[in-house]
Structure 1
Amino acid sequence: MTRPASRIELCREACEVIASATARHLPRETGGILLGYGEDAHIVVTHALVVDGPGASTHRYVRDDVQANALLAAFLAPRADDDPTGYVGEWHSHPAPSGPSPTDVAAMRATARQHEVPLALLVHAPGAQQSFFGLITRCQRTGRVTSKPAPVLMPPSRSEALGPPPDGAIRCDGPV
Structure 2
Amino acid sequence: MAAAPLRIHERIGLLRLDGAAPDVAEARAAVLRLRLAPGQRAFTADAAANLPRADADPGRTPFAVLRRGVPVGFGIIDRRVTPGIATGDPGDAVMLRAFYVAPEWQGQGIGRAACMALGPLVGGIAPEAREVLVTAAESNHAALRAYRAGGFAPTGRQVVTADAAVQLVLRRPVG
Q: TM-score of the superposition, structure 2-length normalised?
A: 0.31
Q: TM-score of the superposition, structure 1-length normalised?
A: 0.31
Specify which structure has the higher proportion of helix. Answer: 2
